[in-house]
Amino acid sequence: MRALRLRPQSAMAIYAHPDDADVAAGGVLAQWASDGCAVHLVVVCDGSKGSHAPQADPTSLKEVRSAELQLAADLLGATTVTSLERCDGGVANDEDLRATLVGLIRQYRPEVVVGPDPTATFFGGVYVNHRDHRETGWALLDAVAPAAAMPLYFPTKGEAHQVGQLLLSGTHEPDVVADVTATIDTKVKAVLAHASQLAGDADAIRDVVYGRAEQAGRPVGVAFGEAFRSVELAF
Ligand SMILES: [Zn+2]
């Protein structure tokens, strides 16, 4: 495990659901944004199935979650937010999603792309990684390496762009830790912005976010961290 020293000028976070980026990488994204990096947030799903209540209305849930996403993105200091509004549970790593992601990568030209590690399926014998997370992860990998970088892939989607580095969250093979000590409170606020998704009061959520960040930071000696699997792409 090593400390992440990356200080990009442009970054893109691609996640499935409106709250995923904040939970997985809110600290490092807020840090980069406060350092002047352009942070582009891409959310694939509309959040319309994100409730355990049988009487929940998908249309109003979608509207609530869209507003929560904008609030959280503002807290992080994101430069742009793009919602692809795929129905929750309906993400597929198909040609259409890859074309859309390639178009966004070529438009915003990020040095680094952050997103879910699609290879992680089971966590601790108690959690199965959501299909939308896995499909989004595979689609972003395919969009970055190699499609966006090669002009004959999706030639109508802009000028080819090589992303320099991938940082994958929710991984079983983390090898870098970002120091998020300066932005952990911002991360907590961004997570709390997704009020429709919170089980428990704000203090309990804060404790969970702090606890996970403390654990992630320990191997590299920082108070609070976020761990990722890093892939540095040769070009
Ligand atoms: Zn999610």
Centre of ligand 1 from the C-alpha of residue 20, in Å: 5
H/E stretch holding 51 reads none
Centre of ligand 1 from the C-alpha of residue 24, in Å: 10
Q: How far is CA 98 from CA 15, 81, 145, in A?
A: 13, 18, 11
Average pLDDT, the chain: 96
Centre of ligand 1 from the C-alpha of residue 16, in Å: 6
Centre of ligand 1 from the C-alpha of residue 159, in Å: 31
pLDDT band at 234 (very low <50, low <70, confident <90, very high): confident
d(CA 149, CA 152): 9
Q: What is the pLDDT of residue 32?
A: 98
Determine the average pLDDT of the residues in 63-75.
Answer: 97
Task: Indicate whether 109 pLDDT > 80.
Answer: yes
Centre of ligand 1 from the C-alpha of residue 83, in Å: 14
d(CA 170, CA 192): 19
CA nearest neighbour of 22 among 150, 175, 212, 229: 212
Centre of ligand 1 from the C-alpha of residue 135, in Å: 11
Centre of ligand 1 from the C-alpha of residue 136, in Å: 10
pLDDT digits (tens, 9 = 90+) for 173-208: 999 999 999 999 999 999 999 999 987 789 999 999
User: 88 near 45, Cβ under 8 Å?
Assistant: yes
Determine the average pLDDT of the residues in 112-139.
Answer: 97
Spell out the domains of the chain, with CATH numbers in brackets: 2-232 (3.40.50.10320)
Which phi and psi (to 5°) does residue 195 adopt?
A: -60, -35
User: 171 near 216, Cβ under 8 Å?
Assistant: no
Q: What is the pLDDT of residue 73?
A: 98
Share of residues in the chain with pLDDT > 90 (%) = 94
Centre of ligand 1 from the C-alpha of residue 47, in Å: 9
Residue with tokens 């430069």: 79
Q: What is the pLDDT of residue 152?
A: 98
Determine the average pLDDT of the residues in 16-35.
Answer: 98
pLDDT band at 235 (very low <50, low <70, confident <90, very high): low
Parallel, antiparallel, or unpaired for β 127-128 and 122-123?
antiparallel
Task: Indicate whether 53 pLDDT > 90.
Answer: no
